[in-house]
Amino acid sequence: MSDPIELTQKQKTCVTFKPEGDLLIQGIPGSGKSTILLARAAYLKETLPNTSLLVLTYSRTLTNYVRQLCAKTISKPIDAKTFHQWGQEMLEHTDYPHTRLIMGDNRKSAIRFAKNIVNKRYDTVHFPKIKVNSNSKTDKDLVQFLCDEIEWIKGAGISSRKKYLEIARVGRGTDVRVTKLHRETIYDILEKYNEILSNHSNYQGIDGDDLAKILVEKANQIPEHLKPDHILVDEAQDLHSLQLKAISSIAKKSLTIGADKGQQIFRRSFTWKDAGIKVLGSRSQLLKQTFRSTREIIKLANDFQQQDKKYIRDEDYCRAEEPKINGKIPELILCPDQKKEDKIIIEHVKTVRSTYPDSTIGIIAHSNKKLEYLKKVLDEKGFPVYLVKEENADIISPGVKLITFQSSKGLEFDHVIITDLKKGKVPYKAPSPGEDEEEFMSRERKKLYVAMTRAKKTLLLVAQEEYSVFVDELNKDLYCLNT
């Protein structure tokens, strides 16, 4: 186990806060939210010996990371799971007939199937007109739109046709015009899709978005001894409001939530109140001091965050205080092509590994495909590298770790290399049909902000022609440019 950290007074207050009801800990990147959650879990285990507790996160990578941090920093084993894994386990103890989760491509094909049935069999069908992205077929775009719309409907807890016909579609874009007649058809498809989930042999199961709703409805059937006394949720901004409600309805005594809306990179829009989280007065704590990154890294990240006008208008917006620890100014390298980018990455990894052999190097890229490519390039040079997405990948030991922007959230590395600052990669090509443009760009900026704030000591940004529009948004006075 590593030496314990000397927590600040404010952090200690969060750790020892009375374990009854809700506690919301919001804080900028590196302010110690995960550290506090684990210290609180250890504190509760120690002071309340017969208590049961559980740490929940949204992603498998983060759950894996939390488990490794537990083993490194605290003496008591703590149970950590993803929301979906835990929700499925809970559901098995209710009378709900299916627990197989239908997600990703399976879900998309079930929705396409529902759309085709409605289109063939219903007398009146009105599909909204979708602006077609280049290189993509209209049907593919329509299905993507329907998938997003159904996720939005379920995430917002809309459970009747009447409510859907009347509600303002907040957070959905205006590029797809959705009239009342379109909404009737979309709701027909939603009903057909739900029917398919309940009785079609290929798709029988539970939609990931319904899991939370059903957990809330069936919470009283879950045996008391299986309900944790205390639940602690890390990176809670990644969850839907209904998922938080479900967690809240199952935790017997307390719910502790760590979150930062500045790192909200999935499509979520809710207030804590919407999610049923009651946090007035001292039940809501805000941490503005970062312990992870150097002053130079935070200055660049803070300045870049200012470009996200949508987020800085948000009531939860919080600007990081500049840390006292100084370090190297971040570096930006412009590359004409992939070959040059490979060379830069290889040289940088070589230098860092020989100067700081015991450090972690995180290489962040847009897609898993790109990570596989980088792994091959670095493997050929004889550098041992690890893909963080792999089950049980060692995230915290020294070495070179490859990770996507999305999965890097919650993690940290001594040295970070950000790649894919290229048009069509970061930001991604275009919003999905029906997605709000400003919200899309806000999320894409947050992705880069999250990646930058993973770095503890040094940050290297690698841009490739045609450069990402974000390159121009980085303040030239706050990085050093190389070609």
Ligand X SMILES: Nc1ncnc2c1ncn2[C@@H]1O[C@H](COP(=O)(O)OP(=O)(O)OP(=O)(O)O)[C@@H](O)[C@H]1O
Give me the least distance between CB of 151 and ligand X, in Å please: 25
Q: Are 478 and 296 in contact (CB under 8 A)?
A: yes
Q: Which of 436, 416, 415, 421 is nearest to 473 (CA)?
A: 421
Give me the least distance between CB of 356 and ligand X, in Å please: 16
Q: Which of 96, 127, 266, 291 binds ligand X (CB under 6 A)?
A: 291
378 vs 452, beta carbon nearer ligand X: 452
290 vs 307, beta carbon nearer ligand X: 290
Give me the least distance between CB of 283 and ligand X, in Å please: 18
Q: Which of 7, 329, 346, 469 binds ligand X (CB under 6 A)?
A: 7
* Residues of this chain, 183-242, that bind ligand X according to CB under 6 A: none
104 carries a ligand binding annotation: no
Q: Report the distance separating Cα 302 and Cα 307, nearest Å.
A: 9
Q: Report the distance separating Cα 210 and Cα 205, nearest Å.
A: 10
Give me the least distance between CB of 124 and ligand X, in Å please: 49
Q: Which of 407, 453, 458, 464 binds ligand X (CB under 6 A)?
A: 453
65: β partners: none
365 vs 411, beta carbon nearer ligand X: 411
Q: Which of 412, 325, 408, 404 is nearest to 361 (CA)?
A: 412
Give me the least distance between CB of 156 and ligand X, in Å please: 26
30 carries a ligand binding annotation: yes
Tokens in use for 424?
């069509």
Give me the least distance between CB of 425 and ligand X, in Å please: 22
Per CB under 6 A, does 294 bind ligand X? no
Per CB under 6 A, does 64 bind ligand X? no
* Residues of this chain, 390-419, that bind ligand X according to CB under 6 A: 410, 412
Peptide bond into 336 cis (omega under 30): no
209 vs 235, beta carbon nearer ligand X: 235
Binding mask 16-55 for ligand X (x = CB under 6 A): -----------x-xxxxxxx--------------------
Tokens in use for 315?
């009531």
Q: Report the distance separating Cα 375 and Cα 69, nearest Å.
A: 25
Per CB under 6 A, does 269 bind ligand X? no
* Residues of this chain, 125-154, that bind ligand X according to CB under 6 A: none
Tokens in use for 231?
């639940």
Q: In what order do the strands lie in the sheet with 254-259?
A: 79-82, 53-57, 230-233, 254-259, 21-27, 284-287
Q: Report the distance separating Cα 42 and Cα 38, nearest Å.
A: 6
Give me the least distance between CB of 412 and ligand X, in Å please: 6
Rounded to a whole number of angstroms, the CA Rg of the chain reads 23
Q: Which of 10, 267, 292, 443 binds ligand X (CB under 6 A)?
A: 292
Three-class secondary structure assignment of 259-272: ECHHHCCCCCCCCC
Per CB under 6 A, does 305 bind ligand X? no
107 vs 456, beta carbon nearer ligand X: 456
CB hemisphere CA count around 91 (13 angstroms): 25
362 carries a ligand binding annotation: no
Tokens in use for 351?
């230098």
Q: Are 401 and 413 in contact (CB under 8 A)?
A: yes
Q: Which stretch, 6-14, 82-90, 181-189, 360-368, contacts ligand X (CB under 6 A)?
A: 6-14
Give me the least distance between CB of 239 and ligand X, in Å please: 15
Please report, as a single letter, which amino acid is at residue 74. Answer: I
List, in order, residues 6 or more apart from 104 with CB less than 8 Å away.
Answer: none
27 carries a ligand binding annotation: yes
Calculate helix-pair angle for 208-218, 83-91, nearest 10 degrees. 50
32 carries a ligand binding annotation: yes
How many residues bind ligand X, per CB under 6 A?
19
**DSSP reduced 3-state for 292:** coil
Q: Are 75 and 1 in contact (CB under 8 A)?
A: yes
Q: Known binding site for ATP: residues? A: 27-34
Annotated binding-site ranges: 27-34
Would you tell me which residues interact with ligand X (CB under 6 A)?
A: 5-8, 11, 27, 29-35, 260, 291-292, 410, 412, 453
